[in-house]
Amino acid sequence: MSKKKTSRKIRVAFRKNRAEKPRRTDWTRKFDEHGFEDVTPESEERISGKGELVKHRTVIGEVQNTEGVNHPGFEVLPDVDFTKCQAGRVLRVFGLNSDVESEDGKIYSCVTRRILKTLTTDQRHVVIAGDRVAFRVPEQHGSNRLEGIIERVEPRYGTLARSSRNRKHLLVANVDQAVIVTSANEPRLKPNFIDRVLVTAERAEILPVICINKIDRIDVAELQPLIGVYSQMGYKVILTSTITCFGIERLRKQLIGRQSVFAGQSGVGKSSLLNLLEPELNLRVGEISEENEKGKHTTTTAELLKLSFGGYVVDTPGIRQFMLWDIIPEEVSGFFRDIHPFENLCHYPNCTHTHEDRCAVKNGVADGRIDLRRYDSYLAIRESKDE
């Protein structure tokens, strides 16, 4: 593995791993010692790196060019000895360990290098399914297990992310297609969920495909208005049924040779579809709760699966809520293909398309040129970003 040497010394921020716990449990002792005091919480950091929240160190590595990149991952790529490392791809992550497939097809159980876990980042997880990594295999000392240490996570592209507790939750990395799986019934179809994932896919420059499963449970004619709206905007819509196998072959052709991710709510049939597409996977499937029509989590972690007919697909756990990450309210309309063309026709250059008069978007809705349900979805997404 050859690599051009462009490393240099870089001053970077690290998370402190010995800071005070965020939840205090010693209030009684503190009161006995000091009484009540007005203490201003730490809100700024000293340039010296001796603050309460982060510390700074010098590492040898490369600065990643993040200009124009939506989800760059690490801004600093630590230097590694590539003569002692192998290239691999993360298949799945279980707690502190990751299963990594090497270029020769072997699967190693790897831990993550400490420097990667302490670099400051807004991500919930350092390593995710789909990551391309450089990992080192230590001396086994008689063990038959294939183990390794992830030394570096290579720059990412095509990442699907959402917001979770005000932090970035990356679902998958290095994909070029997102299959948004929903169900026609049981659980009921939720177009707003589709719109949220569409906005995220457009933001990440990933090709979105809408898959409506379980069409055997309804009259397909009921879906035609919805299908027509998405089709007119250029989105591919595939109807499927795991009972009748309708649309399975069309879905298979869409996956050939691509790096895809299946994203959808619990119970919509993601794993069932993949079992039909690739029977050898034998993925666990669950049933729908009769009380709330919500699926039960059978897929517990994102997993990269190799397809025998070419390409990879990531099966993700069911998503109850999909909150947008790194998209401000003013940007939302730009990712709506049907609303964006009308923006330049509005009277006010900073029009929000919510309450202003002489708004071309609102006029488009009134004239029937913009679907009312899509406009309501835009308002709901924008309102949630404002919150």
pLDDT confidence tier of residue 292, bands split at 50, 70 and 90:
very low
Domain 171-315, CATH homologous superfamily name and number: P-loop containing nucleotide triphosphate hydrolases (3.40.50.300)
Give 329-386's CATH code, choosing from 3.30.565.10, 1.10.3470.10, 3.40.50.1010, 1.10.40.50.
Answer: 1.10.40.50
Q: Where are the domains of the chain?
A: 8-21+48-153, 171-315, 329-386
* Share above pLDDT 70 across residues of the chain, in percent, rounded to a whole number: 73
Give 8-21+48-153's CATH code, choosing from 3.40.50.970, 3.40.50.10240, 2.40.50.140, 3.40.50.620.
Answer: 2.40.50.140
- For 305-337, the pLDDT digits (tens) are 999 999 999 999 888 788 898 899 999 999 999
For the record, the structure tokens of 39 come out as 């203490």
Please say if the pLDDT value at position 47 is more than 50.
Answer: no
| Mean pLDDT, rounded, of the chain | 82
Please say if the pLDDT value at position 125 is more than 60.
Answer: yes
Please say if the pLDDT value at position 1 is more than 60.
Answer: no
pLDDT confidence tier of residue 340, bands split at 50, 70 and 90:
very high
Which pairing describes strands 207-213 and 177-183: parallel, antiparallel, or unpaired?
Answer: parallel
pLDDT confidence tier of residue 80, bands split at 50, 70 and 90:
confident
CA distances from 106 to 100, 101, 133, 150 (A): 8, 6, 14, 15
For position 75, what pLDDT does the model report? 62
